[in-house]
């Protein structure tokens, strides 16, 4: 079996984690190619990554002028991989992830032969909170989206209060999400079959968050095959890049809350347009 796997890694001001991620791929999946997309970092992180891998032709770089967000940035990397590498699989992983399994590629091909999947969710082991992030709860209908928007509005009073009990309630409400079991966006593996169906692997339109909900929308609309394989493991240093963007916990929550609200409204517009 000839491995033809491409990893798409989005970097934003975080060369340390990106270098760890790429090194793990080259060690445990040495025949794979990696596309690093720098999402308009405007610091020296891209230069550090290029210097680290300057003599390795398995690594490809795409430098974006501005931060396009998660979906659009990864779509650029996937399009580059499609045109230059034509892979069997697109492994779109957060840059704060890494692998440590020499059988990674073999397991991936075996799972495809078994299930003929469009998109695969591996075990995503959160090394910060020590749990598997897959499956994740995703929105599955317009009713789910409307309920999520209502809850999002309710969270405002907790988010902008400085009482500790408010933070506890805020976290409790977020963890009890509405929806069904779906794929977590920290590590997604798209087959060539899926890439042949969609010019953009991620539904365009959101900057951050709700990418999984839009994948679920496609899954239902086009009767796609989504699968899990927890024998394939990806380790995740959760929220490392977000912590780079917002230094304090409170600022991080407020940033997330704002972006989630924008994305939820976009998802609602997608469902309304489909109807």
Per-residue pLDDT of the chain (275 residues; tens, 9 = 90+): 568 999 999 999 999 999 999 999 999 999 999 999 999 998 999 999 999 999 999 999 999 999 999 999 999 999 999 999 999 999 999 999 999 999 999 999 999 999 999 999 999 999 999 999 999 999 999 999 999 998 888 877 766 665 555 555 555 555 567 899 999 999 999 999 999 999 999 999 999 999 999 999 999 999 999 999 999 999 999 765 555 555 667 677 778 888 999 999 999 999 999 98
H or E segment to which residue 213 belongs: helix 211-222
State the virtual CA torsion across 205, 160, 169, 236 in degrees, nearest 10. 50
Rounded CA separation 93/79 (Å) = 15
Residue 22, Cβ neighbours under 10 Å: how many?
23
Closest Cα partner for 237 from 12, 18, 28, 1? 18
Closest Cα partner for 205 from 145, 265, 136? 265
At residue 242, the 3 state secondary structure works out as helix
User: Which two three-digit tokens encode residue 68?
Assistant: 């396009």
Q: How far is CA 246 from the centre of its chain?
A: 19
At residue 237, the 3 state secondary structure works out as coil
């Amino acid at each position: 079996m000839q491995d033809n796997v491409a990893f798409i890694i989005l970097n934003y001001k975080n060369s340390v984690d990106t270098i760890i991620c790429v090194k793990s791929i080259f060690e445990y999946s040495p025949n794979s190619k990696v596309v690093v997309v720098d999402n308009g970092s405007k610091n020296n992180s891209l230069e550090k990554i290029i210097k680290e891998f300057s003599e390795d032709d398995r690594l490809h770089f795409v430098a974006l002028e501005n931060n396009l967000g998660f979906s659009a940035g990864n779509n650029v990397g996937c399009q580059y991989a499609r045109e230059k590498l034509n892979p069997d699989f697109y492994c779109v992983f957060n840059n704060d992830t890494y692998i440590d399994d020499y059988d990674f590629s073999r397991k991936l091909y075996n799972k495809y032969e078994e299930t003929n999947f469009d998109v695969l969710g591996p075990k995503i082991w959160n090394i910060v909170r020590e749990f598997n992030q897959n499956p994740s709860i995703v929105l599955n209908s317009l009713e789910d989206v409307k309920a999520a928007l209502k809850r999002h509005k309710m969270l405002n009073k907790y988010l902008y209060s400085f009482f500790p009990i408010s933070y506890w309630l805020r976290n409790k409400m977020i963890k009890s999400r509405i929806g069904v079991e779906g794929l977590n966006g920290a590590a997604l593996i798209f087959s060539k079959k899926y890439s042949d169906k969609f010019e953009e692997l991620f539904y365009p339109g959101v900057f951050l968050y709700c990418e999984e909900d839009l994948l679920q929308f496609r899954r239902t609309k086009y009767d796609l095959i989504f699968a899990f394989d927890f024998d394939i493991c990806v380790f995740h240093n959760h929220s490392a890049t977000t912590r780079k963007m917002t230094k304090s916990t409170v600022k991080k929550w407020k940033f997330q809350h704002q972006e989630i609200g924008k994305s939820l409204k976009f998802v609602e517009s997608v469902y309304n347009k489909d109807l």
